[in-house]
Amino acid sequence: MFKTVKDMDLAGKTVLVRVDFNCPLQDGKVSDDNRIQAALPTIEYLVEQNAKLVLMSHLGRPKGEVNPELSLAPVAKRLGEILGRDIQMAKDCIGDEVKAQVANLNGGDILVLENLRFHKAEKKDDEAFAQQLASLADAYINDAFGAAHRAHASTHAVAKILPAAAGLLMERELVELGKLLDEPKRPFVAILGGAKVTDKIGVLKNLSKLADHILIGGGMAFTFAKLQGHEIGKSLCEKDLDLCQEIWDEANSHKAKVHLPVDVAISPEFKAMDTRNEVDIDKMPADQMGLDIGSKTIEEFSKIVSTAGTVCWNGPMGAFEMKPFDEGTLKVAQAIAASNAVSVVGGGDSAAAIRQMGLDKEITHVSTGGGASLELLEGKALPGVEVLKQTATA
């Protein structure tokens, strides 16, 4: 197991906190502050402890070079607006000037370091870079679940240098997602969507051993439809059909019952349409593409969800970003929200869809980690978590 921030005496100490402030920006402002909001419990707890907070994060993909458009300054400003207080912003994340700023912090003050990925050493898990980060503080807290699947300097190497523990968001993510893999309340229904089968190979394999039902939608459903001999027209399809056949056979060899769409919403091209046309899966025209699950499938999937004890959802049911192909994702989300099941929604598009629909308060847990939640559901060890476990037992 690992220590959490509440297991450490951090009163009055300088604490280096890895947060996930990789927020979307528009016109120099934060356009979606969900990741900031998710980090507030840990930040507010440390402020109550009169700790001096040094927050660090990456933003975007600057590829190891300084890019003013990917500065964390707008994020620091938004954090200040949410907390109703001044937030200090550093010009870099290491160096003498940053050290001086940290030295001048008082208890309860918050300093946001500049984008970690302005330095190539961050993604290389560079020990010397980690030493420079660690020299800023007395202790380290990792609250960036969304980056826990990466062995980077700020998520991995630093934890080997300073007394380390998990933040409150990290703890909640690991507890809630861990329940799915440990003792889920049954029936356990897993819903998988998205474009590619290959993106979900590990999850499909692992959940097929654990779940009672697996509902498959999104673009990935058409590869399986093709394997069953159906015409799929211009729909998305994987090139490596042999691999997909292996995955399909393995999934069906376990306890889970796998459900594919029985009908789909179609269109001649990938764009929003004024009308919604649906056909049974075995009547797909060759000049059309499937862009959403159909009404019969929505009804079937919703009925299975209504009986669930646990629901895990990762991946949209169709091209939910455009009408009328958002219906499958919307209706499945509503079914999950209306159920009495323990419900966990993976990060990425599924989490975005739930929030977009205003249903996040009806879900037991909406994960902040796209890739991290996927890898955890695959049964993989996350470097940012494993190093916390190691330091806790050292």
With a cut of 90, say whether residue 186 has pLDDT above it. Answer: yes
Range with the largest mean pLDDT of 194-208, 247-261, 318-332: 318-332
pLDDT for 42 equals: 98
The mean-pLDDT minimum among 19-28, 148-157, 191-200 falls in 191-200
If we measure between CA atoms, which residue out of 258, 264, 274 comes closest to residue 298? 264
d(CA 171, CA 174): 5
pLDDT of residue 390: 85
**Sign of the alpha-carbon dihedral angle for 367, 368, 373, 374:** positive
Residue 392 has what pLDDT? 64
Domains 5-170+383-393 and 186-340 share a fold: yes
**Distance from C-alpha of 5 to C-alpha of 215, rounded to nearest angstrom:** 38
In the predicted structure, residue 1 carries a pLDDT above the cut 80: no
pLDDT at residue 383 in the model: 93
What pLDDT score does 248 carry?
A: 83
pLDDT confidence bin for 393, thresholds 50/70/90: low
Q: Each residue of 271-320: pLDDT tens digit?
A: 999 899 999 999 999 999 999 999 999 999 999 999 999 999 999 999 98
Alpha helices in the chain (DSSP H): 34-48, 73-83, 96-103, 120-123, 127-134, 168-181, 201-210, 220-227, 241-253, 295-306, 327-338, 349-356, 370-377, 383-393
Are the C-beta atoms of 152 and 125 separated by less than 8 Å? yes
Where do the structural domains in the chain lie, given as residue ranges? Answer: 5-170+383-393, 186-340
Which band of pLDDT confidence, cut at 50, 70 and 90, is reported for residue 347? low
Domain 186-340 in this protein, CATH class: alpha beta
Query: Would you place residue 239 in the very low, low, confident or very high pLDDT band (cuts 50, 70, 90)?
Result: confident
Tell me how many helices (H) and strands (E) the chain has.
14, 17
Q: Mean pLDDT of all residues in the chain?
A: 92
What architecture is domain 5-170+383-393?
3-Layer(aba) Sandwich (3.40)
Q: How far apart are CA 261 and CA 245, in angstroms?
A: 17
Could you list the active site residues?
Answer: 35, 196, 348, 371
What pLDDT, on the 0 to 100 scale, is given for residue 183? Answer: 85
pLDDT at 139 over 90: yes
301/260 Cα distance (integer angstroms): 9
Q: Does residue 380 have a pLDDT over 70?
A: yes
**393 phi and psi angles, rounded to 5 deg:** -105, -5
Per-residue pLDDT band at 348 (split at 50, 70, 90): confident
> Residue 371 has what pLDDT?
83
How far apart (Å, rounded) are the C-alpha atoms in residues 393 and 370?
A: 28
Residue-level pLDDT at 60: 94
Query: What pLDDT was estimated at residue 192?
Result: 92
Model confidence at 98, in pLDDT bands (50, 70, 90)? Answer: very high
pLDDT digits over 356-376, tens only?
Answer: 888 888 999 988 887 888 888
Handedness of CA 123, 124, 129, 135 (dihedral sign): positive
Provide the pLDDT confidence category of residue 200 given band limits of 50, 70 and 90. Answer: confident
